[in-house]
Amino acid sequence: MDDNKTSNWNYKMKTCIVTACTGNYKAHLKSIDHLNVDGFIFGDISDENLQIDGNRWKRIKETYFWHNDPYVRAKYYKCFWHQIPILNEYDAVVWADGTIEIKSLPLNELKDHDLVVYEHGVRFSTHAEINVSTDVRFRDYQQGLKEQKQMKNVDWLAICCFVVNKRCESVIKMNNKWFADNLLYSPNDQVSFPTACEYADVNVKLYKFTKPYNGKRYRKWLRSRRSRKSHMETEHYIKHNHLVSYMEYVGGK
């Protein structure tokens, strides 16, 4: 492919980055100045809990959706960005968790795909993700997860901290299904994401990680520190640690 043609095509896509910080979350958002795109911060995080680097981020304090669980509130902005009027002018909308430091954007992939994500790297199916969804974040959603376990086991899984979306019919259809399933079953969006993509026939570009081993060696690797860090840094982003525990985030002990 001609690099100049690819660059010109990217240049025509008006792009923004979206994140959301809710409840008692604490966030240090890294600069996106080097990307030359707009950035929007949604959510009800307090000013003292938010540190912002660079000049391209814009804080939006208007509330578009409310749920008693701040973890669920954030999902609205992740899954339902196409319903937010201020974002209507953008051709590409990139979701980044508050822990993500973006190095570059793979916008060239949107020439031939609807959406770009990374493979999870540790788990590789929706049922595998359900099996580990037992921590405090999902304590109140176990029934919904059990219901999802009765559905098709989709044999791929994305890590949804970094999602590059092209505004198109299939992605909007996927978003509607994705957010509905987050509300209906559980806010583990990594479980519902592959199902929603298949439902809407989204043309996904999935950057894959290679499984390093098979059988017993693979299970041993999964328990190692190396596996936990396998998707912490990619060509396009660095994933930093959370600054608060989940219980602090939701206002618990």
pLDDT tier at 58 (50, 70, 90 boundaries)?
very high
In a domain, 247, yes or no: no
**How many CB atoms are located within 10 Å of the residue 143 CB?**
10
**98-146 pLDDT per residue, tens:** 999 999 999 999 999 999 999 988 889 999 999 999 999 999 999 999 9
| Letter string b/e over residues 152-169, b meaning 16 or more CB atoms within 10 A of that residue's CB | eebebbbbbbbbbbbbee
Range of the domain at 81: 3-240
Q: In which element (H, E) is residue 173 found?
A: helix 169-184
Residue 154 CA to residue 191 CA, distance in Å, equals 9
- Give the total number of structural domains in the chain: 1
Do 25 and 70 contact (CB within 8 A), yes or no? Answer: yes
In a domain, 245, yes or no: no
In a domain, 21, yes or no: yes
Residue 114 CA to residue 165 CA, distance in Å, equals 6
Do 45 and 73 contact (CB within 8 A), yes or no? Answer: no
Residue 81 CA to residue 102 CA, distance in Å, equals 19
pTM reported for the whole predicted model: 0.89
CATH code, 173: 3.90.550
What's the one-letter identity of residue 114? D
In a domain, 183, yes or no: yes
In a domain, 212, yes or no: yes
In a domain, 71, yes or no: yes
**66-103 pLDDT per residue, tens:** 999 999 999 999 999 999 999 999 999 999 999 999 99
In a domain, 251, yes or no: no
In a domain, 246, yes or no: no
